A = this chain, B = another copy of it.
């Protein structure tokens, strides 16, 4: 904490008359500095687990205003919390409860600045909703492949600040790999114009990747130049039933060999996941009978529908023949393909319907997935025999949402309150034992900071702190997020 901490913590004039607010109103306009009654929508996170209290919400129109806000806040020693669509799952984009932070919403900065079809790039402002970026690419016959559940409301700035993942990572990479250049406002309120559309540029340190995934703690991303791809001629989807996770992993290996870069999706769902979907959404037909694991395979093809189907059927045929799958169904049309994805995406909603549960977002090397799940399953079965493991995720990236549902029938809220610490501790320790990550795609935010201290080597945390100190010496940028609390 810096010398500004006292000021942040109160003992000041009442919020509405804070001298900072007058400066912000002058800088970006009275109506774009919200204080008092208008804030709750900004102060509560999507999962409703983190509620904070901001001094005010600032809604800048452009990068120059973001820089001006940052300079004003720096003068007053006031922390700034950047927020895009506020769909993060770790409390990284809501203010703390001190009532002293400025929440900076990027939602008014939603211009697509440029689409360069010859260079296959698109430059968007931070507040662009992901789906509107996808749509802009599509209007030019191109593809922006980042895709995740919240795409209708998350913003590209938030996607980059958290290095979002999603369903096409195994082919196109995370948000990081889809970004060529950034525009960033620094802690000092300067503007770094790094909006290059270059595929190769070895002229200095990789500032871009340092800002990406830093969760707003090193700078505020205000725009980005993104990679586009030609639209595939056809996309084909199938489901296959596997007798074990090991069989599913071996099917993934086979798919990589047989279909190479055409493989754009490989999701897996354990039986408990789809059983919950069947229970709460019985109207959703499940194309395959229950199996220990169901995988969803998607191929994108440059030649066309028939070629894609042939490849997918050949793959699944070989898998069934080789004992990796018991059964498979290829979508006959787009509606059926959407239905398969809808089943996958309904797991989260079915879990919410079922009651309180404990979420995890872990990644393992593909070679350790089976052993990790066997160990974690056994550990939980011993300690919490009534709990249910709802395990699903992006198997192609080794990313599992290894969630633990409270026992059926009881008070699920109470169970989660009582056991979350132990359950998550057991899961994370097992992840660590298998060389995995405790946050594959959601980030650290406010919620996982303490866990980070346990699972990162002190040297790595020291290196991270020295970078934070170098770029934000006043600790003004999203303070109290990502870095573990000081010891």
Contacts and interface: CB of A to CB of B under 8 A. Distances in A.
Contacts of A199: 169-170, 363, 397-399
Interface string A258-288: 1111100000000000000000000000000
Interface residues of A, number: 90
Contacts of A197: 365, 435
Contacts of A443: 202-203
A367 B118 contact: yes
A31 interface: no
Given A205-B210, A440-B200, A466 B471 contact: yes
Interface stretch (A52-60, A127-135, A320-328, A456-464): A456-464
A249 interface: yes
Contacts of A177: 173, 177
Contacts of A200: 165, 169, 174, 363, 394, 397-399, 437, 440-441
Contact of A209 (B186, B209, B452): B209
Interface string A212-230: 1110001000000000011
Interface stretch (A100-108, A188-196, A346-354): A188-196
A302 interface: yes
B470 A202 contact: no
Contacts of A203: 437-439, 443-444, 448, 452, 455-456
A176 interface: yes
A436 interface: yes
A120 interface: yes
A260 to B, nearest CB: 4
Nearest to A252: B118
A38 interface: no
Contacts of A39: none
Given A366-B120, A470-B470, A439 B193 contact: no
Contact of A192 (B198, B214, B460): B460
Contacts of A442: 202
Given A205-B213, A466-B471, 16 more contacts: A118-B253, A118-B366, A119-B398, A192-B459, A197-B365, A201-B363, A203-B438, A204-B464, A204-B482, A205-B210, A205-B214, A206-B209, A207-B463, A209-B210, A230-B260, A259-B302
22 contacts: A118-B253, A118-B365, A118-B367, A162-B202, A163-B202, A169-B199, A193-B457, A198-B364, A199-B399, A202-B444, A203-B452, A205-B210, A205-B467, A206-B210, A207-B464, A230-B256, A232-B260, A259-B302, A261-B262, A466-B470, A466-B471, A467-B471
10 nearest CB pairs, A to B: A261-B261, A209-B209, A470-B470, A118-B367, A260-B302, A201-B437, A200-B440, A119-B365, A199-B397, A466-B470
